[in-house]
Every structure is written in C-alpha cells, then in structure tokens.
A and B are shown apart, each in its own frame.
Chain A
C-alpha cells in the first residue's frame, strides 16, 4: 500500500483521487503512473492531445477498462467499477459527446427510464412528467417533457443527459467533449448549467478542445502527455502559451529543416476561397502551390481534418469556391477531387481508410481501380509491379502483397494507405496525421518521402499534431484554432515551435 502523501494546504478533501494509474494495451502504454484528483464544487479540465491518455483515464475511472496498476478512491474508499453503470450508481455519471440517450423516447422518460416513478405497479406518467419538469426548471430549462427528445437540438439533449445524471445523485459529472457541436449560444447555456451544478458542490470533469472555453469555465486543469501526467495547475496561473507548450511538449534539440534553400512558388495548384462548412470549419482562404508542402498546425479538434475533408470533397462545403490549376472546380465528391489529382490519406485508418478484410495488394490498388471502373481491371502484372515497387519503396513489412491488411501493424497500415494514393501520382497529396501511432523508423521514412515528393513537384498538405514535424517539413504553416484558420506563416528562420505555440494560444491576435 502507498502511504498517503503530504496533504496539500487550503484545499478541501477531494471527492475522487486516482493514484499511480497505469494501463497497458497491446503494444502501447496508454497510462503510466498518472495521478488525478477531483475536488467538490470545481470544474476540472482534462487536457491533452491525441494519445495523451484522456479517454483511457476516463474509461479506467468509469470501469470500462480495469486498471493495471494504481488505486481509485471515492470519498477515501477504494473502488473498482466493473462498468459505467456501477460507476453511475456510485455517483460518477458520464455525458458523452454523442449523447447516449434514446431520442425516440420523451424527454421525461430519458431522465427517468429504468427508475420510473410507479403507482400500484404501473408507471405513473403524471408524476414522472411533473418531476422531470421540476428538475429541468432547476437547470433553467423549459421544455415540453412529453415531446420526443429527437424534437430538440443536440445542446438540449445534452442538458437532458446532464439532468438525468444529476437526478441519479451524481457527485462527479464527466462531460466528455460536450461542446464540440454546439454554437456559441448553446455553449453559454451549458456553462450556466455547469455553474449551477458547481454551486451545488458537484465536481465536474470537463474535456474540451476549445482553449477559450477552458479558460472561461474551468478552475483547475490536469495536463496529460503520452500517457503521463505533466502536472496539475490552477487555470488562473497558467497562460495559454504555457498550456499549449505543456500539451504538445518541446524537445529542445536543433530543429532540422529537411528542405534545402527556400524555394519560390509561383504556380498555384489548389486555391480555396472562403471555403467553409457550418459547424465544422469557419470559411478559410488557402492557396497551395505545386511542389509546396503546406503544414497545418493546431490542437486536436481545431479544424485540421475538416480543412482536409473539404478540399477532398469528402464533406459538402457550405460555401466558398475552389479552383484547381486556375479554373474553378466543383469538388462535391471524393471521386471529383480525385479527377483533379487530389488524394487524401485519412486520419482514422480503420474507419475510413482501409478495408481490413482485403489484402495489401487489393487495398493499394483500390483507388486506382475505382478511377478505372470495374470493367477495366488493372492487369495483374501491372498490379504486382506497382504493389511490389511500393512495398519495397515504403518498406512495408511483412513484404507480402497477399497478406490481409487487418494483420499489419499500424505503421504498415499507414504505408499501405499511402501507397494507395501514391500510385495515382496525385498533384496534391493530403496527409492527415500520417505519422500518428507509428514507430520512429517508419515516421522518419514517411517524412523523407514527403520531401522527395515535393521536390518532384507534388504539392502536399501535411497535418500533424507535432509542431516540430510540421516545421521540419513545411514551406508554409497554416495555424488553426477553434475551427478557424487564424494564420498562415512562411516557414523561415524566425518561425519556431514557440512562435507556433503562441499563435495557437493567442489565435493570431496580437
């Protein structure tokens, strides 16, 4: 057993204390000796980039995953939940971004289902509706509680989820990215509710990618990076620049730019003008030249992927226009974008990249085959030649074209996806986090490849959470914050990771 450490002064006894939490998944240490505590009546932000361990920490806390090492104490009593339900019964409720309610049921039912008030064995609808209305009034909401939940906006659904959690006598409320699809007014409403709950002594664990929101609502924050705790801070005592620095991390070594001397770009390839999509990314204007590597920097959820998806036609733009090679182009579908020589390596390899049941060869050939239609198969010799060439060039391992892609490691899956697009010889290659979750060797190879491709005249849009990598590869860096492209900076000697962090933190405002 671990000895209780020095008691921190002037701080009430925490409701929840997690000590030395470790969690290992096959091939990755998701959490490594993380300490975390939650005080009553505070909003505590959990901060970190992709893979920092935020969601694992929440899952460990709510019993989705068992802990490998460490202890969780609730009110000083050790607990180990077997699932979210048990956690809920103990007073820890979670409201997810994708609200987990049944939208086909009425508002009142969503609050009370499973615990409906009953009279003589039958559900007492009248009392249920009255109590629901009462509860919502406490959160300053006036809804028709007998209307189905689907009649209301996502924001209202979230409040209903919170109302349900509160009524189960939650003492710890976990809000996992509740604001990512809300507009400003809805966020304000949510914050009002959060303040009310805070006043009642409920501890709120808040996850959000929006820095402004953190600084508006949170009292304290814990920052995670690569599965370790960076530290716990009072929000009032940590500047935004410091926060970004701690989330991204700085390795103090000589920054090596992989490109030779500065090039001049004068052949614009893709020009986006006031391109945007409501709720996903504010309208932005961006020009990518032939042979140019444009890096996109920004925190998770800042709109990096949304920019890429719009340029590829994966989502419908809400407004604005795109020109390719100087002529306006309607990129309404991925197919249309491919026709203009644009390729897109998506971030989520499993969900929208690879077909896991097909072989390496088939996955590599898929996009090329799609452009030809099913009647004109790529001849087998050509397939074997192309696939063989890229297996060798990208060092895909094991080097067997007929292996199922599902059995490959993350890095090799990434290379397969890359190969799929490279054989199309695109004019613009969009890479969304191509080096995430892959080993150091593969990472260096992919970086070198990007340089080679751009030297050969291909334009590359390179998205990465790692600022260093962006700086090392890009000729120009676009900075995103809170779903806006806030700055476009030429990558010269003056541009450092510090400057980028400041731009992210300040949102480009002087």
Chain B
C-alpha cells in the first residue's frame, strides 16, 4: 500500500486545488437521469486512458513496452466506424474491430517473444505503419457515424452512469480477476522479475508475453471504440495520438517499474486519473491548457528521479554526509 501513497497524495492535492478554484467541484447531480459533475467528467474523459494504461501495465510488468497502442486505438475506431457506415451492424463492427486489435497485439507479441526483437523496436513498426493503416481504412476521411447503439459505448449512459465508466470498471474487474484471482499476475511478475529463474521454474514465458501484448491491444481497441463513439466519428490521423506516452506515464506514476516485475493495477488507475485530473485542473484554474504538457514533463521527471536508485543514492549520500559532518561538528 505504501507504494500508492505518493500517487494518492498527488491526486488529493490536485483535487484540493480544484476545490479552491471551483467550489462546487465535488458536487454530483442527477440531471435527466444522468450523473453530472466534475468528478464524473474526469472519470468519463479519463476512461480510454485508463483502459490503455491497464493493458500497458501488464506489458511493462513483463519487462516490455508497447508503443503501438495509439495506432491500435485509431485502427479500431476506424474499422468500427467504417463497418457501421456500411450498415454492418454495431455488433459485427465491434467484434471485427476488437478482433483486428487482438490480431495486431499477437503480431507484436510474436515479434517480441518468438523473434526476440526488443519490445521498443518491435512495437515501433506498428506505431508507424498503424497510423497509415488507420487512414487506409477510413480512406483518409473522417468517417462520421450516427448510430445510437454505437454512441452508447463512449457517450451514452446506463442506469444513470456513463457507459464508459462502467466499461472501465468491467475491464478493471476482468483484469484484476485474471491477474490476482487466477495466477496470471504472479507468472507475469515472475517473468518480468527474473526471466531465467522463471524458465527454470517451468513457466512458459512466450505464451504469457504474447498474451499480454494481445491484451494491451484489446484494451487499446476498446479505448478506440470509446473515443470514436464519443465523437461519433473516426479520425485515423489524430485518434489516440500520443496516448501510448500518457499510458506509459500513468503506469510509471502508479509505481510499476519500467524494468518489469511487480505491477499495481490500482496504481495505474491512480496514475491515469492524475493525468486526467491535471488536464481538468489546468482548465479550471485558468492556466492556458497548452501548458498541460509542461506539467506532464515535470511529473515524469520528478517520478523518474524518485524511482532512480542513482538519484536516491546521491541525495541520500549527501544527506548522510551532512549529517556526519554535523556530528563531527558537534
């Protein structure tokens, strides 16, 4: 639990800042049978990021990284919208989009686990080509769709709650079930923590690695549906742009080490919420929204410095030295 302390403190601080500037920040109302409020908005707009970050968490826990999720977001949204615009039916569209996403994830996993290519390089391929693929699907256009069933995924409400939030909760529950109730989490952590020891303990690392990349792509696919559904259109060029970087950031803020091993789903959710709240906060306190990136840069730097053993050692040593000097002086 101690690992979640700092993210919690940061999130609380951000929320506190909001209350200062927007007194009614915490109020949640029901209007026309829908939940309304700033907190609900943070959850609703943060939903795609949380999804992508959940998938990224498992990938990073195996010691990998997936740069291609942003492209998968675009591809999934593009394919779904294309199908719907061709009257294929929402169900078919969703199944096709998610199926393609998983296939792309398996491709990444295959390159990493079987071909032995460094994850950052292997997923770079799809990161570059995927954008083109998404535009190929939409034929370079922004496909606009108008389908109430599809609208539900990212913009609709179910039982007064935004559907996106429910979806995130469902994926979170499934992920938590797979990793913590079933043994997937432990095996992932073992592979990421010590690959050779895992092999000697009889763990089939390849299958697990392919699976986490497929899962990350599936999460990205769902996020892609959500984003395109929310704006009722697919933009192959800009949908999910840089979401992979935000997702990696969320994972790192949540206390999962980029070196692999121990991961924390709760931490990742917190990390994603921090990023989303940061964006909201910047809007609400009247700082130009363009500066969000500056704050992100600051957060990444601080978090990484705190996680760096070399940094801690340097700071710690200096402290120890000054303490020692004081003792001598005394």
A and B touch in the complex (CB under 8 A): yes
* CB < 8 Å neighbour of B193 from A338, A355, A367: A355
Please tell me if B152 contacts chain A, counting CB pairs below 8 Å: no
Known A335-B204, A338-B202; judge A352-B196 contact (CB<8 A): yes
Please tell me if A351 contacts chain B, counting CB pairs below 8 Å: yes
Q: Which residue of A lies closest to B199 (CB)?
A: A334
* Bound Cα distance A334, B203 (Å): 9
Please tell me if B198 contacts chain A, counting CB pairs below 8 Å: yes
Task: Please tell me if the beta carbons of B194 and A370 are within 8 angstroms of each other in the complex.
Answer: no
Task: Please tell me if the beta carbons of A374 and B182 are within 8 angstroms of each other in the complex.
Answer: yes
Task: Please tell me if the beta carbons of B186 and A366 are within 8 angstroms of each other in the complex.
Answer: yes
Across the interface, which residues of B come within 8 angstroms of A357, CB to CB? 189, 193, 261-262
Within 8 A of A (CB), among B228-265: 261-262
Across the interface, which residues of B come within 8 angstroms of A407, CB to CB? none
* CB < 8 Å neighbour of B202 from A334, A374, A377: A334
Task: Please tell me if the beta carbons of A352 and B200 are within 8 angstroms of each other in the complex.
Answer: yes
Within 8 A of B (CB), among A351-409: 351-358, 362, 365-367, 369-378
Task: Please tell me if the beta carbons of A355 and B198 are within 8 angstroms of each other in the complex.
Answer: yes
Please tell me if B183 contacts chain A, counting CB pairs below 8 Å: yes
Please tell me if A54 contacts chain B, counting CB pairs below 8 Å: no
Task: Please tell me if the beta carbons of B197 and A353 are within 8 angstroms of each other in the complex.
Answer: yes
Please tell me if A412 contacts chain B, counting CB pairs below 8 Å: no
For A354, A365, A420, which residue has the most chain B Cβ atoms within 10 angstroms?
A354
Task: Please tell me if the beta carbons of B197 and A377 are within 8 angstroms of each other in the complex.
Answer: no
Q: Total interface residues on A, using CB and 8 Å? A: 31
Please tell me if B111 contacts chain A, counting CB pairs below 8 Å: no
* Bound Cα distance A438, B276 (Å): 51
Task: Please tell me if the beta carbons of B201 and A370 are within 8 angstroms of each other in the complex.
Answer: yes
Please tell me if A344 contacts chain B, counting CB pairs below 8 Å: yes
For B182, B197, B200, B262, which residue has the most chain A Cβ atoms within 10 angstroms?
B200
Across the interface, which residues of B come within 8 angstroms of A420, CB to CB? 201
Please tell me if A314 contacts chain B, counting CB pairs below 8 Å: yes
* CB < 8 Å neighbour of A358 from B181, B190, B196, B203: B190
Task: Please tell me if the beta carbons of B202 and A378 are within 8 angstroms of each other in the complex.
Answer: no
* Bound Cα distance A369, B201 (Å): 9
Please tell me if A346 contacts chain B, counting CB pairs below 8 Å: yes
Q: Which residue of A lies closest to B211 (CB)?
A: A374
Across the interface, which residues of A come within 8 angstroms of B203, CB to CB? 366, 370
B192 to chain A, nearest CB (A): 9
Please tell me if B282 contacts chain A, counting CB pairs below 8 Å: no
Across the interface, which residues of B come within 8 angstroms of A344, CB to CB? 200
B155 to chain A, nearest CB (A): 35
* CB < 8 Å neighbour of B197 from A352, A371, A372: A352
Q: Which residue of B lies closest to A361 (CB)?
A: B186
Interface residues on B, range: 20 to 34
Task: Please tell me if the beta carbons of A366 and B190 are within 8 angstroms of each other in the complex.
Answer: yes
Task: Please tell me if the beta carbons of A314 and B197 are within 8 angstroms of each other in the complex.
Answer: no
Known A370-B202, A370-B203; judge A355-B197 contact (CB<8 A): yes
Task: Please tell me if the beta carbons of B200 and A334 are within 8 angstroms of each other in the complex.
Answer: yes
Across the interface, which residues of A come within 8 angstroms of B303, CB to CB? none
B255 to chain A, nearest CB (A): 12
Task: Please tell me if the beta carbons of A354 and B202 are within 8 angstroms of each other in the complex.
Answer: no
Across the interface, which residues of B come within 8 angstroms of A334, CB to CB? 199-202
Task: Please tell me if the beta carbons of B181 and A377 are within 8 angstroms of each other in the complex.
Answer: yes
* Bound Cα distance A334, B204 (Å): 10
Across the interface, which residues of B come within 8 angstroms of A346, CB to CB? 200
* CB < 8 Å neighbour of A356 from B182, B194, B199, B208: B194
Task: Please tell me if the beta carbons of B261 and A367 are within 8 angstroms of each other in the complex.
Answer: no
* Bound Cα distance A367, B196 (Å): 13
Task: Please tell me if the beta carbons of A377 and B183 are within 8 angstroms of each other in the complex.
Answer: yes
Q: Which residue of B lies closest to A345 (CB)?
A: B200
* CB < 8 Å neighbour of A370 from B187, B193, B262: B187
Across the interface, which residues of B come within 8 angstroms of A372, CB to CB? 183
Across the interface, which residues of B come within 8 angstroms of A370, CB to CB? 187, 198, 201-204
Task: Please tell me if the beta carbons of A378 and B200 are within 8 angstroms of each other in the complex.
Answer: no
Please tell me if B184 contacts chain A, counting CB pairs below 8 Å: yes
Across the interface, which residues of A come within 8 angstroms of B183, CB to CB? 369, 372-378
Q: Which residue of B lies closest to A338 (CB)?
A: B202
* Bound Cα distance A203, B202 (Å): 47
* Bound Cα distance A376, B202 (Å): 15
* Bound Cα distance A261, B33 (Å): 84
Across the interface, which residues of B come within 8 angstroms of A338, CB to CB? 202
Task: Please tell me if the beta carbons of A371 and B189 are within 8 angstroms of each other in the complex.
Answer: no
Across the interface, which residues of B come within 8 angstroms of A358, CB to CB? 186, 189-190, 193, 262
Across the interface, which residues of A come within 8 angstroms of B197, CB to CB? 351-355
Q: Which residue of B lies closest to A362 (CB)?
A: B186
Task: Please tell me if the beta carbons of A369 and B182 are within 8 angstroms of each other in the complex.
Answer: no
* Bound Cα distance A366, B187 (Å): 8
Task: Please tell me if the beta carbons of A369 and B187 are within 8 angstroms of each other in the complex.
Answer: yes
Across the interface, which residues of B come within 8 angstroms of A354, CB to CB? 194, 197
Q: Which residue of B lies closest to A344 (CB)?
A: B200
Give B164-203 as 1s and 0s: 1 = Cβ < 8 Å from A's Cβ atoms. Answer: 0000000000000000011110110110011011111111
Task: Please tell me if the beta carbons of B208 and A374 are within 8 angstroms of each other in the complex.
Answer: yes
Task: Please tell me if the beta carbons of B196 and A355 are within 8 angstroms of each other in the complex.
Answer: no
* Bound Cα distance A362, B190 (Å): 9
Q: Which residue of B lies closest to A349 (CB)?
A: B197
* Bound Cα distance A373, B190 (Å): 13
Task: Please tell me if the beta carbons of B189 and A355 are within 8 angstroms of each other in the complex.
Answer: yes
Across the interface, which residues of A come within 8 angstroms of B196, CB to CB? 351-352
Across the interface, which residues of B come within 8 angstroms of A366, CB to CB? 186, 190, 198, 201, 203
Task: Please tell me if the beta carbons of B181 and A355 are within 8 angstroms of each other in the complex.
Answer: no
For A334, A372, A378, which residue has the most chain B Cβ atoms within 10 angstroms?
A334
* CB < 8 Å neighbour of B194 from A355, A369, A376: A355
Within 8 A of B (CB), among A288-330: 312, 314
* Bound Cα distance A357, B193 (Å): 7
Across the interface, which residues of A come within 8 angstroms of B201, CB to CB? 334, 366-367, 370, 420
* Bound Cα distance A355, B193 (Å): 6
* Bound Cα distance A354, B189 (Å): 12
Across the interface, which residues of A come within 8 angstroms of B189, CB to CB? 355, 357-358, 362
B136 to chain A, nearest CB (A): 36
Across the interface, which residues of A come within 8 angstroms of B199, CB to CB? 314, 333-334
Task: Please tell me if the beta carbons of B200 and A314 are within 8 angstroms of each other in the complex.
Answer: yes
Q: Which residue of A lies closest to B262 (CB)?
A: A357
B183 to chain A, nearest CB (A): 4
**Partner-A contacts on B (CB < 8 A):** 181-184, 186-187, 189-190, 193-194, 196-204, 208, 261-262
Could you write out 11 A-B pairs with CB less than 8 Å apart? A314-B199, A314-B200, A344-B200, A366-B198, A367-B201, A370-B198, A370-B204, A372-B183, A374-B184, A376-B182, A420-B201
**Partner-B contacts on A (CB < 8 A):** 312, 314, 333-335, 338, 344, 346, 351-358, 362, 365-367, 369-378, 420
